[in-house]
Amino acid sequence: MDYAVDYDVVIVGGGIHGIGVAQDAAASGYSVLVLEQYPLLAQGSSSKSSKLIHGGLRYLESGQFHLVYECLRERAILLRNAPHLVELVPFHIPVYATTQRRPWKIRLGMIIYSLFSGKRFYHINNKYWNKLDGLITEKLDAVFSYYDAQTDDARLTRSVAASAAELGAELITSATFEQAAVAENRVAVSYSVGGERKTVTASVLVNAAGAWVNSVLQKIVDRSGQQMKPMPVELVQGAHIVIEGQLSHPYYLESPQDGRAVFVVPWKDGIMVGTTEKHFQGDPARVEPTADEIAYLLEIYNHHFNKSLNPGDIQQAFAGLRVLPAGSAKASNKSRDTHLLLDDKASPRLVSIFGGKLTSYRSTSEKVLRLVRKSLPKRKPVAITRNLELPVVD
Ligand SMILES: Cc1cc2nc3c(=O)[nH]c(=O)nc-3n(C[C@H](O)[C@H](O)[C@H](O)COP(=O)(O)OP(=O)(O)OC[C@H]3O[C@@H](n4cnc5c(N)ncnc54)[C@H](O)[C@@H]3O)c2cc1C
């Protein structure tokens, strides 16, 4: 029996995941409401990423082949559907005598990456090394070049939001989710907006609150009247700096301090360097780059390029939060897979999204919809996100 509800799907979170699910749900013919606590979309990690649409070359090292394959497939879809937002560019990897990852290892990674993506990689001949943006060539053994893509993460989110809105999704900003109660046939969702408290009902509630996912979860009461329990996760902060200057190519470097892979990429009118991995505790709204992180990133740049920079050259610094599985492993070795938690497998009314990648937001959204479809009424799909061009937005 169908119960009358205000919306088929209510989503908490106006980051790439919440917006991606809204687009997929609206394309599937469902009525959709998105609640975002900030006045603008993409104010959480979806504007604080490294802005790459990539498979993640370094995830091959930790054996995350399926993730890399899926992300490269999504990269190809985004290159087709949003050429104004996602650009394929050659990334350079210099290998020095001191680089921990030896040329054979990088070559092996590139072969796998090329097979997954269908794009070749290259060796840059040493006669061109002096044209590489002032890259230090002393003790340089090799330079590899491979293709990956850059985007503007916040604009990508706004573009997917515009697509979702065109398909009929309602998006409310400055609207804070307060609590929800799951019942057998619906979920009652309360939120505050403009000083007023409102309650709506939905067939399914999607918790896409990013680093706030557990705090939203704990404001939900399940069908037996129990408060939902948080999932054990670790919040790991990642900082970026934007410095003055120009680069002809992005670079993928190994940090001399700890061997981590770090990007130095052209970004708007400057150069962006990132990222770090630092355990975070506290209110996600207060995440900020620390002085140590800024010094670490500057040192990586200064180690690799002839031009020496100091903190005065920094135009901007920002930090975002990754939601990673709890446990003692180093953050760089932890799974980057997305975990989808259901309140009830047989008849789900609530799904919470833990972790994930900007790159794979579309396939993650498809998975979310697939998991909850049995709890939704029958509707006629109006589009398939795989084939939907994303609109141009400011
Ligand atoms: C440093 C760093 C670098 C990264 N680099 C890349 C990269 O290059 N490529 C890539 O593919 N991925 C990258 N990622 C991963 C990617 O950025 C994230 O997976 C993605 O942005 C997460 O999106 P989200 O929608 O889950 O979370 P968010 O973007 O954080 O969105 C969650 C939203 O929920 C809202 N919210 C929370 N609580 C409430 C409430 N009570 N009521 C209403 N709204 C609420 C928040 O305001 C926020 O807008 C990176 C991540 C980090 C941290």
pLDDT for 325: 81
Structurally, the chain folds into a number of domains equal to: 3
Ligand 1 pocket: which of 11, 19, 47, 49 to mutate (most atoms <8 Å of CB)? 49
- Spatial separation of the C-alpha atoms in residues 216 and 208, rounded to whole Å: 9
Domain region containing 290: 233-325
Residues 266 and 289 occupy one common structural domain: yes
In a domain, 330, yes or no: no
Range in 221-225, 238-242, 322-326, 376-380 with the lowest mean pLDDT: 322-326
Last residue of a domain, one of 123, 150, 177: 150
Last residue of a domain, one of 290, 325, 360: 325
CA of 128 to the centre of ligand 1 (A): 39
Residue nearest to atom 47 of ligand 1 (CA): 37
Residues 138 and 98 occupy one common structural domain: yes
**201-233 pLDDT, tens per residue?**
999 999 999 999 999 999 999 999 999 999 999
- Mean pLDDT value across residues 104-129: 93
DSSP string covering 165-214, please? HHTT-EEESSEEEEEEEE-SS-EEEEEEETTEEEEEEEEEEEE--GGGHH
Residues 167 and 211 occupy one common structural domain: yes
Residues 342 and 263 occupy one common structural domain: no
pLDDT above 90 for 330: no
The three-point CA angle 34-37-39 to 5° equals 95
In a domain, 2, yes or no: no
pLDDT for 1: 45
Which residues, 6 or more positions from 339, have their beta carbon under 8 angstroms from its beta carbon?
231, 325, 353, 354, 355
Residue nearest to atom 25 of ligand 1 (CA): 15
**67-78 pLDDT, tens per residue?**
999 999 999 999
In a domain, 197, yes or no: yes
Residues 176 and 308 occupy one common structural domain: no
Residues 58 and 146 occupy one common structural domain: yes
Percent of the chain that is helix, strand, coil (3-state, to 5): 30, 30, 40
Residues 91 and 146 occupy one common structural domain: yes
pLDDT above 60 for 2: no
**Ligand 1: which residues within 6 Å by Cβ?**
12-18, 35-38, 43-46, 48-52, 176-177, 208-212, 216, 238, 275, 320-322, 353, 356-359
Residues 192 and 249 occupy one common structural domain: no
pLDDT above 90 for 334: no
Phi first, then psi, for residue 249 (nearest 5°) are -140, 155
Residues 159 and 125 occupy one common structural domain: no
pLDDT above 90 for 331: no
**270-293 pLDDT, tens per residue?**
999 999 999 999 999 999 999 999
Last residue of a domain, one of 150, 182, 212: 150
CATH number of the CATH domain containing 243: 3.30.9.10
CA of 133 to the centre of ligand 1 (A): 32
pLDDT for 59: 87
**3-class secondary-structure state, position 321:** strand
In a domain, 394, yes or no: no
CA of 210 to the centre of ligand 1 (A): 5
